[in-house]
Amino acid sequence: MNPRHEIDSDLPDDGIDAQAASWFVRNRQEDGNADRQAFELWMNEPEHAKAYRAFEELWADLAELQQQNKPVPLIVQRKPNAWRPALAIAAALVCAVLALNLGTPHGVYQEQIAAQAKGARTFNLPDGSTLSVNANTRLRIAFDGQQRQIYLDQGQIYLEVAPDKERPLWVHTGESTVRVVGTGFDVRRTDKQVVVSVAHGQVAFAPDSKTQTLLGAQQQASLDLASGTLQQQSLTDGQVADWRSGHLSFRNRELASLIDELNLYRARPVLLAEGKLGRFKVSGNLDVNDPDALLNALPALLPVKTVALANGQVRIEAR
């Protein structure tokens, strides 16, 4: 416990308003009898009491603003001869010291998430949004009073975004961005693709700084990072972010895209021996907890074979 000091040594010596600010902070943080007796003695002076009441009124005004849940200018009306510069300086000091106790409607929130090799995780964000994170995913979150930003470095996420027209939410995937106000959507980023799928609402997907595509419910856009081409397709109800249930269903899907997603669930990637193999279409189901079961079934679905490599990788070859 920190030792107590004489009250005169604790109080600032630069004016009554600064002393009032010091007492106001200490009364909210300490409860010692010695301090209470010293405070009452200090308040016996009318000028001291007047300055202290001013800070109580300021605190009440700030608390009212917090209840309104939005930034509102605080207008303080004073008589021309009642303004004291020292009071303004001391008020700023009190606001800085007590900022953590008061809080702000849109505080700064920063987080880094690195998901484990298997299993999905769900996070409740401070703006009311819900974030689901797939396996082998890395992202950074940066929220403040003006904007909501998520940087997806690798992997896959699903977001149920709380509406906030004053603060749209952005997902950054390298050069590409996704902008939403309030909706449910999925983003997957790998070395080969950026895929955006919308469950409900609408998102603006910008593959680069020059183009933008609007996607609605049950729509998906896939950006091939090597060629820069963008493909769109419609999805059935329930296909968006079905990885959260542990199983993926797919129909007439290109093998290259399927393998790209399957690699999220393996410690070592699956390779395609030839580029043309990736254009094969395949239908079936993927158990995200057992991705090798699909690999073992591929030779029965397509004219391919799987070859296990010494380093744990698997190569798909034509047969």
- DSSP of the chain: -PPP--HHHHS-SS-HHHHHHHHHHHHHH---HHHHHHHHHHHTSHHHHHHHHHHHHHHHHHHHHHHHTS---------GGG--HHHHHHHHHHHHHTHHHH--TT--EEEEEE--SS--EEEE-TTS-EEEE-TT-EEEEEE-SS-EEEEEEEEEEEEEPPP-TTS-EEEEETTEEEEESS-EEEEEE-SSEEEEEEEES-EEEESSSS--EEE-TTEEEEEETTT--EEEEE--TT-TTGGGGTEEEEEEEEHHHHHHHHGGG-SS-EEESSGGGGG-EEEEEEETT-HHHHHHHHHHHSSEEEEE-TTS-EEEEE-
**pLDDT tens by residue, 27-65:** 765 455 557 778 788 888 888 888 777 766 665 555 554
Q: Which residue would you say has higher pLDDT here, 69 or 92?
A: 92
Same domain, 79 and 24: yes
CA 13, 14, 17, 23 dihedral sign is: negative
- Within a domain: 152: yes
**CA dihedral of residues 173, 178, 181, 187 (deg, nearest 10):** -70
Q: How confident is the model at residue 86 (pLDDT cuts 50, 70, 90)?
A: low
What is the overall mean pLDDT for the chain? Answer: 80
The pLDDT value given to residue 274: 82
Q: Are residues 60 and 170 in the same domain?
A: no
Q: How many domains would you assign to the chain?
A: 3
Q: Which of 244, 271, 305 is the last residue of a domain?
A: 244
| Position 99 confidence tier, pLDDT thresholds 50, 70, 90 | very low
Token pair of 77 as six digits: 């009306």
Place of tokens 């007047």: 50
Confidence of residue 124 (pLDDT cuts 50, 70, 90): very high
Task: Name the band, by pLDDT with cuts 50, 70 and 90, for residue 299.
Answer: very high
> Higher model confidence: residue 19 or residue 317?
317
Asked if residue 298 and residue 217 are part of one domain, the reply reads: no
Tell me the residue range of the domain where 154 lies.
106-244
Q: Are 226 and 310 contained in the same domain?
A: no
Question: Both 264 and 275 in a single domain?
Answer: yes
The answer on 128 and 48 residing in a single domain is no
Where among 182, 211, 244 does a domain terminate?
Answer: 244
Residue 111 lies in a domain: yes
Please say if the pLDDT value at position 133 is more than 80: yes
Question: What is the pLDDT at residue 209?
Answer: 84
Select the more confidently predicted residue: 26 or 314: 314
Query: Alpha-carbon distance 73 to 76, whole Å?
Result: 10
pLDDT of 276 higher than 80 = yes
pLDDT surpasses 60 at 262: yes
Could you give the percent of the chain with pLDDT greater than 70? 74
Q: Are residues 240 and 116 in the same domain?
A: yes
Residue 309 belongs to some domain of the structure: yes
Tell me: the pLDDT tens digits for 9-27? 455 445 676 777 777 766 7
Q: Is residue 2 part of a domain?
A: no
Q: Where a domain ends, among 81, 102, 123? A: 102
Let me know if residue 274 belongs to a domain: yes
What pLDDT digit, counting tens, does each position of 172-198 carry? 999 999 999 889 999 999 999 999 999
Tell me if the pTM is above 0.95. Answer: no
User: Are the C-beta atoms of residues 271 and 308 closer than 8 Å to each other?
Assistant: no
Q: Can you give the CATH number for the domain in which 269 is found?
A: 3.55.50.30
